């Protein structure tokens, strides 16, 4: 079970709560509810709420409680997080979420709570594809404080230069960097997720016109046109 430490500031006091995925919302709820009773939600509470809900979205081990802010949530509450409402369109929800349009009594996937209203809630968008991180090229000799390099960071020389779960992708000039956005135009090598190590080993390029007996092409095989 993951343990999380969340710092927050409410009514001039600073505190820290230590929570696990199973009680994160409950631990934060008291803090948030104190401010929901006021007409001006606190920015620190908003930040805490977003962190907690994003943490739950990342783990997705259980259903989570609904949080209904009414038909017109305060502007500071947007974007709404997992199991929060009322939303009207997908853009009302945070990254990786969509607005579940529902009728009174309809279930809310991944959430539990009072279903008597017609409130629409933000739920997980299974079709969401997160954007690839941009490359960060620190030059051929990054400062020692940059190590270990993170995802899509370079220049690396060895796998040991990269953070856990990453390896140093050795590349030629202008070769695309798997799992990253951008091309530095240099010969820098970048840290990429380990999963690409096995995928890259499976790539088979049969040229612009593969032999007929090679069709249908399989995973990581090319060149394909359709």
Least confident of 18-27, 56-65, 192-201: 18-27
> Higher confidence at residue 203 or residue 132?
132
pLDDT at position 5 over 50: no
Strands 111-112 and 136-137: unpaired
User: Averaged over 205-216, what is the pLDDT?
Assistant: 85
pLDDT at position 1 over 60: no
pLDDT digits (tens, 9 = 90+) for 150-200: 999 999 999 999 999 999 999 877 788 988 999 887 889 999 998 888 766
Specify which of 34-38, 130-134, 155-159, 218-222 reaches the highest per-range mean pLDDT: 155-159
Alpha-carbon separation of residue 156 from 151, 161, 177, 208 (angstroms): 11, 6, 13, 32
Least confident of 11-15, 39-43, 147-151: 11-15
Alpha-carbon separation of residue 136 from 7, 29, 183, 200, 211 (angstroms): 29, 38, 10, 21, 40
pLDDT digits (tens, 9 = 90+) for 80-108: 999 999 999 999 999 889 999 999 889 99
Return the percent helix, strand and coil in the chain, to nearest 5: 25, 25, 55
For the record, the structure tokens of 89 come out as 């369109």
User: Averaged over 25-39, what is the pLDDT?
Assistant: 46
Distance CA 71, CA 45 (A): 20
Q: What residues contact 46, with CB distance under 8 A and at least 6 apart?
A: 76, 77
Three-state DSSP class for residue 202: helix
Distance CA 175, CA 107 (A): 48
Distance CA 31, CA 99 (A): 25
């Amino acid at each position: 079970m993951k343990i999380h430490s969340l710092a927050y500031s409410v009514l001039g006091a600073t505190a820290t709560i230590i929570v696990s995925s199973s009680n994160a919302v409950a631990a934060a709820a008291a803090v948030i509810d104190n401010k929901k009773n006021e007409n001006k939600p606190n920015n620190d509470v908003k930040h805490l709420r977003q962190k907690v809900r994003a943490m739950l979205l990342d783990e997705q081990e259980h259903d989570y409680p609904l949080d209904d802010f009414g038909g017109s949530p305060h502007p500071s509450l947007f974007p709404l997080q997992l199991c929060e409402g009322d939303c009207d369109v997908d853009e009302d929800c945070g990254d990786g979420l969509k607005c579940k349009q529902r009728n009174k009594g309809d279930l809310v996937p991944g959430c539990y709570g009072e279903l008597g209203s017609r409130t629409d809630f933000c739920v997980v968008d299974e079709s969401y594809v997160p954007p690839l991180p941009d490359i960060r090229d620190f030059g051929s000799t990054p400062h020692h404080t940059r190590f270990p390099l993170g995802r899509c960071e370079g220049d690396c020389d060895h796998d040991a230069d990269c953070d856990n779960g990453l390896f140093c992708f050795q590349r030629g000039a202008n070769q695309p960097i798997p799992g990253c956005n951008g091309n530095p135009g240099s010969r820098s090598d970048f840290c990429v997720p380990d999963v690409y190590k096995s995928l890259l080993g499976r790539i088979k390029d049969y040229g612009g016109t593969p032999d007929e007996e090679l069709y249908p092409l399989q995973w990581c095989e090319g060149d394909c046109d359709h």
